[in-house]
Structure 1
């Protein structure tokens, strides 16, 4: 009887040891990235480390509950910078906002249709995988409609990785153009204990509500929307210590990075280059739309670029918060895109998948 092959790489190590190595390496890489001046180093360090671990055979994944906690922290962090001006900004520019959002959705849908028509992937998998935004919602919906969930997850996380990496690099090198340095990072910033307790209570209650109502990206959206209203109207002050946010960023980075492993890469090898090409095209389109937004609305170019970046919203929020940009404006456009994608994305994906020729899954 043939014995199964022995696990290789990091899989040979006990899970507690894998976690210790992951945490230690993430801290070192995040510190190096922060020293180099890269925005969102506390996200990018753990994310890049986790990708290396995933491809090296690591068998660990953050529990779903900790991922929800990280999303709640990020949503609450965004809420803390929301003012009444964000609604006025959106209302004053809503035709332009809507046009930009529709353009991004149309390009992502066209990319999925092209990949399907070239018979690289089946229609449903290609359409769901290329959908710009609401990655978690798209993966759940894709599986419900018969798409290959592993490929959809790979395509969605690959887009998040590329977008987050490009946004962080643009934010970093933009300093040379604008001459403005991002605010220095203070991990142990002082926060009033009563304000912190109220903030955490609000985050817990709104996250539970978002999950109970099954809102798309409820862990981020509910604290962001409800907390933002409370903060903007002066009902309460929202503040979180940076060390706590750093833990949330790390959990988010690990969840994304550990999703990349050798099995998924092997399964997706035929779709890898077309998927990367579609992502590059989508990012390029977003850059052009950012230039249009900066020209027409007079928005700071870096703010416009982060606002039009095609997801994920949580990673873009972290990059925006660590850069010298108008965070409320960025989140206004990102939120509007998420809501519109969630509302029309599933119906659009079903319609486009139905227009492609049905085919068996290619040999991947």
Structure 2
């Protein structure tokens, strides 16, 4: 590994790097928020952190902080999960299953293409294009002989592409993207008191702890726990703007800082193929979303976010900020996550088998 140059961020003390990251990430989030960019408080810190990562920054966000951020998003989504939303999701289960199978099939096809023409090993390509939680896919890929460095890069490259395209689509469509200070957050702040805030934070911590050994459990368990407590009337979920900003910033910074120089150098020659594969998968999912939206009579943006091959947390943030059908987005993304976790190893074997036949 080459020594850092005089202009490298690695030459700065860790404290100075953290201070600079917090200031720039917070400023970027507020600037994006001022211009009504969807998921501004998430997207801004993520882009700044990517710049830090590839510029040689030595700091890394603790994974427990990242998980607490996911838990906060889970509670935020749980606030939108009403009995009416659950009933609507149950009525659309057949469409959700169809969309899940279609997205998994499309991702497998893109994986085959990357393995055949992108110079990426079959198992690695399969796990790298799997439309599940990035952290879960990277962890599972290690057990099946894939190169976790390439898988991680493919997953996070796709996350960046999905978030950027999702924000762009939301903007072009003209969604009411007022940021986290719009009506979803206003509802969260009604009746704020220290007891509700304390119970909300406690639910996040307990949920993240219980979900430590579950794929995407840091988001799913607090979501399910918070939703159950809210539906039963035990908890009134309360999350002030500062807590949401910290949660969004933690998730965005964790993802962005993963793009260090070593990882980028390792995959540099394959990066164009990865980006092309990610954009192709996004396009195919967008076409399928249009078909499903026509079938269901739902708005395109909600179906697009539901079928988009990004992470649960990222899509949930954009869905909330654009006032899309959060329950539908969450239900389909969760169903697909479980489907990919269950079938991931089988799909990887099939991708390897097909690429070997084509070789």
TM-score over 0.5 for the alignment? yes
2:89–2:327: 8 Å Cα contact kept in structure 1? no
Matched residue pairs, number?
350
When residues 133 and 181 of structure 1 are mapped into structure 2, their CA distance, relative to the original with a 3 A threshold, is: closer
User: What root-mean-square deviation, in Å, do the aligned CA atoms of Structure 1 and Structure 2 show?
Assistant: 2.0
Name the structure 1 match of 2:181.
Answer: 185
Name the structure 2 match of 1:6.
Answer: 3
Distance 2:31 2:79 in 1: 28
1:134–1:342: 8 Å Cα contact kept in structure 2? no
Does residue 17 (structure 1) correspond to residue 16 (structure 2)? The answer is yes
Question: How do 1:131-142 and structure 2 match up within 5 A?
Answer: 131-142=130-141
Q: Which runs of 5+ in 1 are unaligned?
A: 359-364
Name the structure 2 match of 1:297.
Answer: 296
Name the structure 1 match of 2:112.
Answer: 113
Distance 1:314 1:161 in 2: 13
Distance 1:265 1:204 in 2: 34
When residues 347 and 225 of structure 1 are mapped into structure 2, their CA distance, relative to the original with a 3 A threshold, is: farther
Distance 1:240 1:144 in 2: 38
Distance 2:178 2:298 in 1: 18
SS of equivalent residue, structure 1 residue 268 = helix
| 1:235 Cα offset (Å) | 3.6
Distance 1:277 1:165 in 2: 14
SS of equivalent residue, structure 2 residue 120 = coil
Distance 2:328 2:50 in 1: 31
Indicate the structure with greater helix content. 2
Name the structure 1 match of 2:147.
Answer: 148
| 1:123 Cα offset (Å) | 1.3
Q: Which runs of 5+ in 2 are unaligned?
A: none
User: Bigger CA drift: 183-192 or 279-288?
Assistant: 183-192
User: Bigger CA drift: 65-74 or 185-194?
Assistant: 185-194
CA-to-aligned-CA distance 1:79-104 (integer Å, 9 cap, x gap): 11111123222221112111111111
| 1:351 Cα offset (Å) | 3.6
When residues 6 and 353 of structure 1 are mapped into structure 2, their CA distance, relative to the original with a 3 A threshold, is: same
Name the structure 2 match of 1:338.
Answer: 337
User: Bigger CA drift: 150-159 or 189-198?
Assistant: 189-198
| 1:17 Cα offset (Å) | 0.6
| 1:344 Cα offset (Å) | 1.4
Name the structure 2 match of 1:350.
Answer: 349
Name the structure 2 match of 1:198.
Answer: 199
Name the structure 1 match of 2:217.
Answer: 218
1:86–1:332: 8 Å Cα contact kept in structure 2? no
SS of equivalent residue, structure 2 residue 167 = helix
User: Bigger CA drift: 138-147 or 16-25?
Assistant: 138-147
Distance 1:338 1:354 in 2: 23
Name the structure 2 match of 1:161.
Answer: 160
Superposition TM-score, scaled by structure 2 size = 0.92
2:49–2:252: 8 Å Cα contact kept in structure 1? yes
Distance 1:352 1:5 in 2: 36
SS of equivalent residue, structure 2 residue 280 = helix
When residues 102 and 184 of structure 1 are mapped into structure 2, their CA distance, relative to the original with a 3 A threshold, is: closer
SS of equivalent residue, structure 2 residue 181 = coil
Question: How do 1:22-101 and structure 2 match up within 5 A?
Answer: 22-101=21-100
CA-to-aligned-CA distance 1:94-142 (integer Å, 9 cap, x gap): 1211111111111111111222223601111111111111211111111
| 1:5 Cα offset (Å) | 5.1
Superposition TM-score, scaled by structure 1 size = 0.91
| 1:234 Cα offset (Å) | 3.0
SS of equivalent residue, structure 1 residue 260 = coil
Distance 1:5 1:166 in 2: 34
Distance 1:181 1:63 in 2: 30
2:33–2:179: 8 Å Cα contact kept in structure 1? no
1:134–1:341: 8 Å Cα contact kept in structure 2? no
